[in-house]
Amino acid sequence: MLYFDCDYNCGMHPAILRRLEETNGEYTGTYGLDCFSEGAKQRIQDACGDPEADIFFLAGGTQANAVVIDSLLKPWQGVVCAPSGHINVHEAGAVEYTGRKVMALPDHEDGKIRPEELQDFLQKFSDDGSRDHMVEPGLVYISFPTEMGTLYSAKEISDIHDVCKEYGCKLFIDGARLGYGLGAEVNDISLGFLADHCDSFYIGGTKVGAQFGEAVVFPHHGAPDHFFTIIKQHGALLAKGRFTALQFDVLFTDCLYEDIGRRADTFALQLRELFVRYGIGRPAVLSHTNQQFLILENSMIAKLRGLVKFEVWSATDEGHSLCRFVTSWATTQGDIDCLEDICKSVSGN
């Protein structure tokens, strides 16, 4: 069986496992107040070109999204996102559970927010004479890459950031798959750019080779007051915090983080090319990252079942469905070669 169903269905990168084993017997401070956490923060600050960045390590993406959004919003405010945004679809209402309304902008197949639509939305709220009876949009949430594997350009993020500043909104960027975005050939965004164009973002570890963990970054010493305490209030503070941080210390040594992303992206593009070449499926959107969304005939899906693990997202018409195929740090060239043999067999070529 080949596994292309998600990017966190295998353990962890061997370099992380080795480092955890090497340091397992050491005694350190708790709750992230330890030498490993400090070292990892320094590496991330260096990578962002921001020695004043405030950095906190959380266990997962849902915790990071819910805690950061709750901490950045005032009691009467809500968060704006794309309809496909993870906080709107796949987090079981975690943000709403904190009392924050999620407001979705018009839908687009590529999963992006358009700066002009955001401006129109915020301006309409500002012009509404009943706005004091309404939830105020106080924060904009985007993902890089998006839920559809697509990328914002530097200009698009810059334009969104400018709109946010114009209307007094904060900008938060979900980086659960940030490594795959940074590693894409067409990407023109760096960690330093993100640090200068948002109020907070996080560097995903869970989906990019870590066993678990996300590194939340507040650029330029911008963390909310008592954010450490806010994390604990949300039940998201790990007692053995060093284990999250140590993984990022490894990921940000010798460019491993971006190398993982670049390698997985390369395999994802090879996967897409195989499906097109053998007439098995066609791209639904143009993704340059590790998530590939392809439209397949339902009969072809049946042939692939039992040979390849992937996700069927939705029907596109009576005979076709939208499917997601995902590569990861664990994908090998051997997997792609085996997939080609399967493509040849099921296509009859």
pLDDT tens digits for 176-209?
Answer: 999 999 999 999 999 999 999 999 999 999 999 9
CB 235 within 8 A of CB 258: no
Work out the pLDDT band at 348, boundaries 50, 70, 90: confident
Task: Give the pLDDT score at 285.
Answer: 95
Could you give the angle at the alpha carbon of 67 between the alpha carbons of 237 and 47, nearest 5°? 80
Task: Give the pLDDT score at 121.
Answer: 97
55-90 pLDDT, tens digit per residue, is 999 999 999 999 999 999 999 999 999 999 999 999
287-335 pLDDT, tens digit per residue, is 999 999 999 999 999 999 999 999 999 999 999 999 999 999 999 999 9
Helix 333-347 and helix 256-277: axis angle, to 10°? 10
Give the fold, CATH level 3, of 14-254: Aspartate Aminotransferase; domain 2 (3.40.640)
Q: Is the pLDDT of residue 246 over 80?
A: yes
Q: Is the pLDDT of residue 349 over 90?
A: no
CB 77 within 8 A of CB 170: no
Task: Give the pLDDT score at 93.
Answer: 95
Give the whole-angstrom CA distance, residue 16 versus residue 297.
Answer: 40
Q: What percent of the chain has pLDDT over 90?
A: 98
Q: Is the pLDDT of residue 274 over 80?
A: yes
The predicted model gives 125-140 an average pLDDT of 97
The predicted model gives 42-63 an average pLDDT of 98
| CATH tag for 2-6+257-347 (out of 3.30.160.20, 3.40.50.620, 3.90.1150.10, 3.90.180.10) | 3.90.1150.10
Task: Give the pLDDT score at 140.
Answer: 98
161-184 pLDDT, tens digit per residue, is 999 999 999 999 999 999 999 999
* Per-domain residue ranges of the chain: 2-6+257-347, 14-254
98-131 pLDDT, tens digit per residue, is 999 999 999 898 999 999 999 999 999 999 999 9
| Whole-structure pTM value | 0.96
Mean pLDDT of the chain: 97
Q: In Å, how far are 138, 239, 245, 246 from 23, measured between CA atoms?
A: 42, 17, 12, 9
